[in-house]
Amino acid sequence: MEKHTKIYIAGHRGMVGAAIWRILESKGYTNLIGKSSSELDLRDQVAVQEFFKKELPDVVIDAAARVGGILANNDFPYQFLMENMQIQNNLIDTALKSNVDKFIFLGSSCIYPKFAPQPLKEDYLLTDSLEPTNEWYAIAKITGVKTCQAIRKQFEKDYVSLMPTNLYGTHDNFDLKSSHVLPAMIRKFHEAKLNGNQPVTLWGSGTPMREFLFVDDMAASVIFALENKLPEHLYNVGTGEDLTIKDLAELIQRVVGHTGEIVWDSSKPDGTPRKLMDISKMHELGWKHQVELKEGIERTYAWFLENEGQYKEVKL
């Protein structure tokens, strides 16, 4: 991969896209393209086609998606299904028709069945039913994975899908209506601390187990896929380590400095009991995460404090 290769990062202002952009710049890549959603609506097929005709990118990294936690997925199933399919279909199809040889598609560990054996292997895709609370987003991402696989099979192009575990980090979304569990906890504990260490109520029982990957590590895996031709179409990306939501809450509580009570609302859903990724394929190729969970939470909370009142919110 040449440093002047023209690389289009879809979703470059999101948490993952921004991290990819930062790392590419730090490595000396000089020909990066990014468009905000106001400049280019990726749901608009004609607009995407015109953009590709004008810019002629050599590589496309798809970090664009409509994302959110259990509440957002449950309340807006149509948007999570349709808009994600529109975004990725427009990008993948236009890239193919524009003769883009390398495409990196980013998905999510939620593509795997709810009760799949642990840790989750790439081979478990489409072997059982999905978790109902996020199946709309999962189905959209599965279609993206299979589309890239089809192009790889039929046209022999280097289209690869990376499936990250739960991501968090700087530039995360801390809006309590649409954020994921880790940034939501950071905000809840922070605001409770400011209000005299009030009790913090969290969803579920605290018993489900989750794996978390710092966003800079995810970005590094994308650069790894960019600079190498990976032999297969689908790879899991994570740490290979998980913990209970209860342990996560207590770790975040310590980092934030909240000393009040944690109350678990068991009337709210837990989601999938466990989601641990089998990342042996990426390890065998030479990629491994660098940032451990405590350090990542500390860096994320520091960014939150610097940007309090200005952090990104997803409008639904």
Residue 277 is assigned to a ligand binding site: no
Residue 303 is assigned to a ligand binding site: no
Q: Are strands 209-210 and 243-244 parallel, antiparallel or unpaired?
A: antiparallel
Helix 135-155 / helix 77-97 crossing angle, nearest 10 deg: 10
CA angle 271, 273, 279 (to 5 degrees): 110
Residue 109 is assigned to a ligand binding site: yes
Number of residues assigned to the chain: 316
Q: What share of the chain is helix, strand, coil (3-state, %, to 5)?
A: 45, 15, 40
Residue 221 is assigned to a ligand binding site: no
Answer yes or no: 137 catalytic: yes
Task: Please tell me whether residue 253 adopts helix, strand or coil conformation.
Answer: helix
What DSSP element (H or E) covers 164? Answer: strand 158-164
Task: Please tell me whether residue 93 adopts helix, strand or coil conformation.
Answer: helix
Residue 71 is assigned to a ligand binding site: no
Residue 106 is assigned to a ligand binding site: yes
Residue 66 is assigned to a ligand binding site: no
Residue 17 is assigned to a ligand binding site: yes
Given 112, 137, 235, 301, which residue is catalytic? 137
Residue 171 is assigned to a ligand binding site: no
Residue 203 is assigned to a ligand binding site: yes
Residue 60 is assigned to a ligand binding site: no
> Distance of CA 76 to CAs 10, 69, 72, 135, 184, Å?
23, 11, 6, 12, 19
Binding residues for NADP(+), as ranges, are 11-17, 106-109, 141, 164-167, 180
- Residues within the annotated binding site for substrate? 188, 203, 210, 270
Binding site members = 11-17, 106-109, 141, 164-167, 180, 188, 203, 210, 270
What positions carry a catalytic annotation? 137
